[in-house]
């Protein structure tokens, strides 16, 4: 059973990332949504990576810093060896406490990561790390 990634409009995508003033959107014509488990794209100018992950019948948008250097290692999402970069997201653990930075090494190329992803539990585990 293949459940395609839900189609999004640019307005819906902007709502997921409300704090981003100039959101660089992915090239929609190049995306095959029926092959995606999650949607991810890089903003090379700002060294940012954006992820849209389905979680219990809703979509979650995660923005993080992507390290410019690429190393050979294991991706936290697809659990395969490839070119990975450190992805760090900033979260506020409580309403009063300070911000914390959480992250892990993930594939720089989200399309390749989607093709290699066999177990969605690894994606759920990654989501628990970067968004507690």
pLDDT value of residue 85: 95
> What six digits make up the tokens of 6?
């839900």
Domain boundaries, the chain: 10-130
Per-residue three-class SS string for 88-128: EEEEECCCCCCEEEEEEEEECCHHHHHHHCCCHHHHHHHHH
Long-range contacts: 40-44, Cβ < 8 Å, 24+?
A: 40/110, 40/113, 40/114, 41/110, 42/66, 42/108, 42/110
Lowest mean pLDDT among 4-8, 42-46, 58-62: 4-8
Higher pLDDT, 4 or 101: 101
Residue-wise pLDDT tens digits, 69-121: 999 999 999 999 999 999 998 876 655 567 778 889 999 999 899 989 988 89
pLDDT above 70 (res 2): no
48-63: average pLDDT = 89
Q: DSSP 3-state assignment of 46?
A: coil
């Amino acid at each position: 059973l293949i459940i395609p990634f839900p189609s999004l409009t640019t307005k819906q995508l902007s709502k997921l990332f409300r704090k981003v003033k100039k959101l660089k959107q992915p090239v929609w014509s190049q995306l095959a949504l029926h092959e995606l488990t999650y949607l991810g794209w890089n903003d090379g100018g700002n060294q940012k990576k954006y992820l849209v992950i389905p979680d219990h019948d809703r979509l979650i948008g995660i923005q993080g810093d992507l390290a410019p250097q690429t190393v050979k290692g294991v991706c936290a999402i697809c659990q395969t060896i490839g070119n990975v970069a450190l992805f760090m997201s900033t979260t506020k653990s409580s309403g009063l406490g300070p911000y914390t930075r959480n992250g892990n090494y993930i594939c720089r190329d989200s399309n390749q990561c989607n093709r290699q992803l066999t177990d969605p539990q690894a994606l759920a585990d990654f989501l628990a790390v970067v968004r507690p």
